[in-house]
Amino acid sequence: MFTFTAFPKRTKRNAHDLALLVFFVLAASAAARAQVLYGSLVGNVTDPNGAAVTGAKVDLTNVATGDVTTAMTDERGAYTFHDLQVGVYKVAISRTSFKTTLKEDVRIEANKTFRFDAQLEVGGLEETVLITAGQELALQTDRADVNVTQSARQINNLPLFGSVGRNYQSILQLIPGTTRGTGSFS
């Protein structure tokens, strides 16, 4: 007599293999989310009285490539650009009955959110207000995370001391406020 079973019996080995597979898939997806290569730009557009300007056109131009991305302000006067390549941008905000506001030299950095709030002046579209500023504030209020970008020059100019060397995990200990992780690869 011949007996056929559609599903083989599960063994401890199969369950163990499945658990390992799930672990590695979840670990890989968590690592992929942790490495952010893009930045964001957010802001609010208001009139001279401080009221939100809805339907304002926000043009974002990548200075290096010339690519233009457009967004419209919502009912709160807010606009958002996500997943921007690192680089220098130019922001132009326009709306009927208001002067066009232009901000040049907006620097977008990886894993950071830049905020540009604009107050439009009453006037025609043919008039433009150019906003220039000195040093931008380093305080990021749009996100709760803390991040530090160290340039290759900063890393290469560090003295080689003790067992630290230029190991990236050891260099992290040089950033103020960091603590040593408790587990491997944490």
Name all domains of the chain by residue range, CATH numbers in brackets: 39-131 (2.60.40.1120), 148-179 (no CATH)
Give 81's contacts (C-beta < 8 A, 6+ positions apart).
40, 41, 42, 58, 60, 69, 71
Candidates 97, 101, 137; CA nearest to 119 is 101
pTM score, two decimals? 0.56
- Give Cα separations from 129 to 11, 18, 115, 151 (angstroms): 72, 61, 18, 34
Per-residue pLDDT tens listing for the chain (186 residues): 555 555 555 555 666 666 666 666 666 555 455 557 899 999 999 999 999 999 999 999 999 999 999 999 999 999 999 999 999 999 999 998 899 999 999 999 998 999 999 999 988 656 666 666 655 555 566 666 666 777 777 777 776 655 555 666 666 666 777 776 666 665
